[in-house]
Amino acid sequence: MADKIYIFDTTLRDGEQSPGAALSILEKLEIARQLEKLNVDIIEAGFPVSSPAQFEAVKRIAGEINVVIAALARAKEIDIKAAWDSICNAEKPRIHTFSSTSDYHIMGKFGSDQYGRSIQEKRETVLKMSHDSVAYAKSFCDDVEFSAEDAGRTDIGYLADIIETAIDAGATTVNIPDTTGYTMPFEYAAKIAELRKRVKNIDKAIISVHCHNDLGLAVANSLAALDSGARQVECTINGIGERAGNASLEEIVMALKVRKDLFDYFTDINAKDIYNTSRMVSGFTGMIVQPNKAIVGANAFAHESGIHQDGMLKNRETYEIMIPEEVGVVKTTMVLGRHSGRHGLKARLEELGYTLDNKELDRIYDLFTKLSDKKKEVFDDDLRTLMGDQVFKEDNYYILEDMQVHLGTNAIPTAAIKLKIGDEVIQESATGDGPVSAVFNAFERILNMEFMIENYQVRSVTSGREALGEALLRIKADGQSYNGRGVSTDVVEASAKAFLVALNQMKKPQAVLV
Ligand code: KIV
Ligand code: ZN
């Protein structure tokens, strides 16, 4: 009989660690609802000890979503307690604790003598910490996952000892992460096979894999590990994650499905929900899916050359190994416009995977009517982008009351900004090399601060003259970076909104690890 592969989605934890992908609590909740529809087995909802916002997001997801909810914790009591407090109301809670196990990580994180003088002594300390953290987590929760961070570069003998110890202490899932995306598929598969031989109690836990994509091998490594006996795979939507990202959920699921002749495994994923989930994550994180991305990229099912088109018309299978509808890519002819009412908007958003209460619907309807005044036809991607706009940005400290920009071929670009800060409204104007820099300069004047623009990109979301423009921005002040994203049919306004979102990030409690 075919074996089930458990899909552990870490979009909201490792995925959110992607540079620039900060999500609000409501956005996380909305993504978690969509992941539940997609039918993932485990959602890693966050790293609760790292900030009050992380804690709150995990707690709200745990209170509402009925799949296993995992919370991440370092091998420290304070982390494990925070993780438990955030998920204790979940139907199916899991504490996920981890220790660094490669010599690189041990020397980097436990270099001081307090953890032992030699590497051998330090390894002993980490072994004990791993045991104690799993045992402590187990005192709260039956379902405990242990990860050996940087297992990909960890000595196999020591890794086997650590894993055996974690299982002895009560771990029910043991994760072997290729944290740095260093291993080759055959090497990683051999490591899993070797652990199955060496670890005496391995049959008491599920082996999990968690691969990063630094060499572009995260999916290949994950599949190779499944073939060696791993039965849980950790992945993210669109493959987002630290640095080059994590293994992509949609690629793993579809590889197992399309090549079931080779893999005698199955997942419980509702593949038809893949596309909507991908678009929702992209919309909320502002992380654009590259057009040639497998499964969910805009070109994944596009056939350009005449020979390919001809072949496709005669027989689809000539060039297609899966049909777009299987992953929820449907050619929609439905467009909304000025005359579409609230009901039509709500129905379309629900079809795209969003659940809105009346208050949220009021806000998005307001944005939608403003957009449809400027733009005759509103497409699905416009709606997704609106959903990723300020709809879900709650508790803003800075509010843009008004903005005026003046430019001309022979005039110096000038911007005037009226900003509400608490109860006060401050107005300033400034000039710049162009309208966008004039706007940014006006913000700086109001706040009497200087920001470094670390990253600034503008793109159009849909095609056509009145396309929505999206601005992505990263600013830096006092050594800390903040991300913002704004959309509008006017790119200067989109840029101002992005600046404002970044400013509001600055006012939110930042992640502080103790
Ligand atoms: O990449 C990694 O090792 C991790 C662990 C915390 C599981 O994300
Ligand atoms: Zn990771």
Instruction: Give which of 239, 243, 97, 240 is closest to 181, Cα–Cα.
Output: 243
| Ligand 2 ion: nearby residues, β-carbon < 5 Å | 14
Instruction: Return the residue matching tokens 């079809």.
Output: 351
Instruction: Return the residue matching tokens 């999206």.
Output: 470
Q: Is the pLDDT of residue 4 over 60?
A: yes
Cα separation, 450 vs 437, whole angstroms: 13
Q: How many residues are there in the chain?
A: 514
Share of the chain above pLDDT 90, in %: 71
Q: Could you tell me the distance, in angstroms and rounded to a whole number, from the CA of residue 321 to the centre of ligand 2? A: 30
Q: Quick one: average pLDDT of 383-400?
A: 75
Which ligand places an atom closest to the C-alpha of 179?
1
Q: Quick one: average pLDDT of 231-245?
A: 97
DSSP H helices, 110-217, are 119-138, 156-169, 185-198
Q: Is the pLDDT of residue 127 over 80?
A: yes
pTM of the model: 0.89
State pLDDT tens for residues 151-168.
999 999 999 999 999 999
- Per-residue pLDDT, 306: 64
Residue 72 CA: which ligand 1 atom is closest? 6
- Per-residue pLDDT, 406: 95
Confidence category of residue 385, pLDDT binned at 50, 70, 90: confident
Residues 6+ away with beta carbon under 8 Å from 197: none
Cα separation, 415 vs 446, whole angstroms: 12
Cα separation, 430 vs 406, whole angstroms: 11
SS3 state at 103: helix
Residue 212 CA: which ligand 1 atom is closest? 1
Cα separation, 501 vs 486, whole angstroms: 8
385: phi then psi, degrees, rounded to nearest 5? -70, -40
Cα separation, 69 vs 71, whole angstroms: 7
Cα separation, 346 vs 369, whole angstroms: 13
Element (H, E) at 57: helix 52-64
Residue 179 CA: which ligand 1 atom is closest? 1
State pLDDT tens for residues 299-324.
888 766 666 666 666 777 777 899 99
Residues 6+ away with beta carbon under 8 Å from 376: 337, 338, 466
Query: Mean pLDDT across the chain, nearest whole number?
Result: 92
**Distance from chain centroid for Cα 339:** 35
Share of the chain above pLDDT 70, in %: 94
Cα separation, 255 vs 234, whole angstroms: 15
Q: Is the pLDDT of residue 269 over 70?
A: yes
5: phi then psi, degrees, rounded to nearest 5? -105, 125
CB 141 within 8 A of CB 90: no
Q: Could you tell me the distance, in angstroms and rounded to a whole number, from the CA of residue 138 to the centre of ligand 1? A: 20
Which comes out higher in pLDDT, residue 180 or 393?
180
- Per-residue pLDDT, 363: 87
Rg (CA), the chain: 25
* Helix, strand, coil in percent for the chain, rounding step 5: 45, 20, 35
Q: Quick one: average pLDDT of 47-52?
A: 95
State pLDDT tens for residues 431-453.
999 999 999 999 999 999 999 99
Bridge-based pairing state of the strands 424-431 and 452-460: unpaired
Q: Could you tell me the distance, in angstroms and rounded to a whole number, from the CA of residue 179 to the centre of ligand 1? A: 6
Residue 98 CA: which ligand 1 atom is closest? 6
Cα separation, 227 vs 215, whole angstroms: 20
**Distances 507 to 180, 286, 388, 500, 503 between C-alpha atoms, Å:** 32, 20, 20, 11, 7
- Per-residue pLDDT, 330: 81
**Distance from chain centroid for Cα 278:** 10
Sheet containing strand 480-488, strands side by side = 452-460, 469-477, 480-488
SS3 state at 268: coil
Residues 6+ away with beta carbon under 8 Å from 340: 348, 368, 372, 378
Query: Which of 252-261, 298-307, 453-462 bottoms out in mean pLDDT, i.e. has the lowest?
Result: 298-307
Q: Is the pLDDT of residue 391 over 50?
A: no
Cα separation, 334 vs 347, whole angstroms: 12
Identify the bridge partners of residue 429 per DSSP, sorted by sequence position: 416
Cα separation, 202 vs 207, whole angstroms: 8
Query: Which of 41-50, 225-234, 347-356 bottoms out in mean pLDDT, i.e. has the lowest?
Result: 347-356
Residue whose CA is closest, atom 5 of ligand 1?
149
Alpha carbons within 13 A on the beta-carbon side of 511: 14
Q: Is the pLDDT of residue 465 over 90?
A: no
SS3 state at 248: strand
Q: Is the pLDDT of residue 333 over 70?
A: no
Residues with CB under 6 A from ligand 1: 14, 98, 147, 149, 175, 177, 179, 210, 212
**Distances 402 to 9, 241, 417, 422, 472 between C-alpha atoms, Å:** 41, 36, 6, 15, 21
Confidence category of residue 89, pLDDT binned at 50, 70, 90: very high
Cα separation, 350 vs 142, whole angstroms: 36
Cα separation, 469 vs 489, whole angstroms: 5
CB 234 within 8 A of CB 208: yes
Q: Is the pLDDT of residue 392 over 90?
A: no
Which comes out higher in pLDDT, residue 376 or 153?
153
- Per-residue pLDDT, 64: 97
What's the N-to-C CA distance of the chain in angstroms?
A: 47
CB 65 within 8 A of CB 32: yes
509 DSSP assignment: P
- Per-residue pLDDT, 235: 98
Task: Name, of 127-136, 396-405, 418-427, the range with top average pLDDT.
Answer: 127-136
Q: Where are the beta strands (DSSP E) in 14-122?
A: 42-46, 68-74, 93-100
Which comes out higher in pLDDT, residue 466 or 250?
250
Q: Could you tell me the distance, in angstroms and rounded to a whole number, from the CA of residue 47 to the centre of ligand 1? A: 11
Q: Quick one: average pLDDT of 258-281?
A: 96
Which comes out higher in pLDDT, residue 143 or 342?
143
- Per-residue pLDDT, 514: 52
- Per-residue pLDDT, 190: 98
- Per-residue pLDDT, 205: 98
Q: Quick one: average pLDDT of 279-305?
A: 87
Q: Could you tell me the distance, in angstroms and rounded to a whole number, from the CA of residue 99 to the centre of ligand 1? A: 9
Give the 3-state DSSP-derived string for 447-491, with helices as H, strands as E and coil as C.
HCCCCEEEEEEEEECCCCCCCCEEEEEEEEECCEEEEEEEEECCH
Q: Quick one: average pLDDT of 412-433?
A: 95
